[in-house]
Chain A
Amino acid sequence: MKLEAQKYDLKNIKVRYIIYGIIALILMLIELLFINIISIENVTPDLLLILCVWISLAEGQFPGIFAGFTIGLIFDIISGDVIGTNALAKLVAAYIAGFFHKERNLKANLNTFRFVLVVLLSAFIHNLIYFFFYLKPAETSFARFFLQYGVAATFYTVLFSAIAILIRIPAKEIDID
């Protein structure tokens, strides 16, 4: 009986990871094809970062850092950016978000305002790292550029993360205790 339950769990995890992969691909296409429609003064929300934070909070820190690294690396390759910048920024963001993972109370993490706050913290650190490498070859002042764009991008991402709160988590996976 226990073995059956374990098999069921494993199958469930596989299905979830496949779904995350598909969502990541869709979000990458949105980021590359349609994000300009909602860009304000060159500032765009980072939808992939929201997904990485979501995976960290829903699945834990270990799967989260793998997701952050993989998603970031693929996005670096297809977007023409310096390979490793998005991977590193998303890896760190997912690692930080992973500290807030609560296996027994997913709803409190994912369906409440708490998720937005975790995204805010992760996005801030993500952008801090990303803009550090982004501005490395330039002579521009980091503080000025980050305050102008990094902070704006953080809040724009946070705004979109509020939409993710509305996604319903299957009843089976919430409030186990």
Chain B
Amino acid sequence: MQDFIKIIIRFKELITFTALTVICLSLISLSDASKIGGFRAFVIASIGKLQDAFAWVPNPAALRSENQALRELNLQLSTEVIKMRSALIENNRLRSMLQLKDTSSVHLMPAEVVNKTNVQMRSYITLDKGEQDGVKEGMAVRTDGGLVGEIVATTRKYSLVELLNNRHVKISAKILRNQIEGIIAWEGGQYLVMKNIPTSFEVYPGDIIITSNYSVKYPHNLPIGKVIKIEKEPGSLFHRILVEPFANFAGLEQVFIIEQVVDSEVFQLSKEIEERIKSRNIKRK
């Protein structure tokens, strides 16, 4: 017995290290990063309050980048205002001719960004609107430019938004010009990547990317970004398209919460199928 205790004392570092490693691996396998609820949502909201209190600390890099983006946006908007006005008149005339229901009446709730958490490649923002304002998990968030992300956790006064530049994010999207569907993901860097577009389809720099009608998480036809570069990978049947997001993630200050939650049944169904495929793959392995 004494020998056993001696061995334990002698190798206590290794034994403790092994035990803690097993605990960590168990925790990793049990936790689901896409779900932040209960106690953690409370902790994150409390941090949100703290972040709100320190929001006055200036971030020169973000301010500079936001200023530049705003100037560019101003320029674009001023030229597009006239086009939009004439398009609106034409749209109304055509709608009344076809007696179509107006689908663009989505309620937008303005919200202030109280903090941006960007620790170790995880990008979240905390908004000053929560459950008491009618915010729900799953609502999309956008700026005047385009899609920003999705609300992943809410408390009474705050909500947490997972930005598009996050490893979990995969968005069903399409090219506005030819309606070709693909998938938007983030692989690091300032650009998003659009995949699953066959090389037989022509894609050009400047093409606008919007959310697809098949998206189970985001409302359709939300602007995401524009094509910057088309890469052809040798041996691949698909394009690798770099997309510059319209929203400036570095300088987010005011955003809009889209008060529309995508049908939870559709979302649940797609998740169930995903899980079934996953478990089938594990069985095969």
Contacts and interface: CB of A to CB of B under 8 A. Distances in A.
Interface string A122-154: 000000001101110111110011001100010
A32 B124 CA distance: 11
Contacts of B7: none
Nearest to A32: B47
Interface string A27-41: 001011111110101
A91 interface: yes
Contacts of B123: 42
Interface stretch (A7-15, A62-70, A164-172): A62-70
A82 B30 CA distance: 9
Interface residues of B, number: 50
B72 to A, nearest CB: 20
B20 A91 contact: yes
B27 A139 contact: no
A46 B26 CA distance: 24
Interface string A84-105: 1111100110010010000000
A130 B28 contact: no
Given A46-B120, A153-B120, A77 B62 contact: no
B52 to A, nearest CB: 10
Nearest to B193: A140
B24 A69 contact: yes
Given A66-B16, A84-B31, A139-B185, A35 B25 contact: no
B43 A78 contact: yes
Contacts of A87: 20, 23-24, 27
Contact of B24 (A42, A80, A91): A91
Contacts of A80: 33, 36, 40, 44, 117, 122, 124, 153, 160
B119 A34 contact: no
Contacts of B189: 148
A78 B47 contact: yes
Contacts of A139: 185
Contacts of B185: 138-140
Q: Which of B36, B40, B51, B54 has the most CB of A within 10 A?
A: B40
B171 to A, nearest CB: 14
Interface of A: 29, 31-37, 39, 41-42, 44, 46, 61-62, 65-66, 69, 72-73, 77-88, 91-92, 95, 98, 130-131, 133-135, 137-141, 144-145, 148-149, 153
23 contacts: A32-B47, A32-B117, A33-B47, A33-B57, A36-B62, A41-B190, A42-B165, A61-B13, A62-B12, A66-B16, A77-B40, A78-B44, A80-B122, A82-B32, A82-B33, A83-B28, A84-B23, A84-B27, A84-B28, A86-B120, A88-B28, A91-B21, A137-B167
The 3 closest A-B pairs by CB, nearest first: A84-B27, A88-B24, A84-B28
